[in-house]
Amino acid sequence: MSEFTTFTEGEFYEGHFDSRAYVKSFYSCSSGHADEKNYLTFVLRCLSRVFSAGEHKGKRLIDVGSGPSIHSVLSACEHYDEIVLSDFANNNRREIEKWLKNQEGSLDWKPILQYVCELEGKSLSDLEATLKQRVKKVLKCDVRLENPFYPHTLEPADCVITSLCLEAACKDIQTYCRALHGLTELLRPGGLLVMIGVLGESFYKVDEQLFSCLRLSRDGIEEALRGLGLSIQEFNILPAEDRENNSVSDFEAIFHLVARKPSE
């Protein structure tokens, strides 16, 4: 986009990303932002299908680039003993901490919690309590680093989730591939990688503030994952509807994929 002279990497988010406006715009109901036509419903349903049966479980789950959000781990939380949430921006991590600690003025996740509970036949209060009990850390991460959690070294995870992070943090495909390698290094052998993202997007807006995005293709993502030795188990795509009237982003499609790191 002509509006960008430089890619809006993590440092730009620190000063310009409004966490509360982001959640209000994109997560105030289960269908997400009206311009994005059921984007969020697709994501929540995909995550529920992967995790709700309990087939995938283990000791540790790491969510890389959580933003101010907890939605990515709702369906998985009861199947992992320890959950790590993370983000580059201090304000995003503060919003998560406020919600975990039930502090006054924390973000309202009840509409999203309720939707997941209806999908899975769960109690809202039980799901909320389980997540708050299982989240052990909220850490700063930078996916551009070889170890995204430097100076911390985390124990290998049974599952790594990342949603809308890499394409927003990585200015080119080389940086993106290095970031993917960093994520796979967080996984134990045989561990599961779950990714949610957008194809063909160059920008999105939060309260009229523009953020740039790396345009990705399915072929490019598959090639990068296979180059790291991961086996792709599923790759689901929902094409964007009514792109001409989408004022907040220009994505061509949403994707959800599940891949597995080879066992040693």
Q: Distance (Å, rounded) from C-alpha 191 to C-alpha 154?
A: 14
Can you give the chain as a three-state secondary structure string? CCCCCCCCCHHHHHHHCCHHHHHHHHCCCCCCCHHHCCHHHHHHHHHHHHHCCCCCCEEEEEEECCCCCCHHHCCCHHHEEEEEEEECCHHHHHHHHHHHCCCCCCCCCHHHHHHHHHHHCCCHHHHHHHHHHHEEEEEECCCCCCCCCCCCCCCCEEEEEEECCHHHHCCCHHHHHHHHHHHHHCEEEEEEEEEEEEECCCEEEECCEEEECCCCCHHHHHHHHHHCCCEEEEEEEEECCCHHHCCCECCCEEEEEEEECCCC
Q: Which residues are annotated as a binding site for S-adenosyl-L-methionine?
A: 22, 27, 65-66, 87, 92, 142-143
Q: Which residues are annotated as a binding site?
A: 22, 27, 65-66, 87, 92, 142-143
Do the strands 253-260 and 80-87 form a parallel or antiparallel pair, or are they unpaired? unpaired
In the block, tokens 């929902």 appear at 238
Q: Distance of alpha carbon 230 from its chain centroid, rounded?
A: 19
Q: Distance (Å, rounded) from C-alpha 254 to C-alpha 239?
A: 6
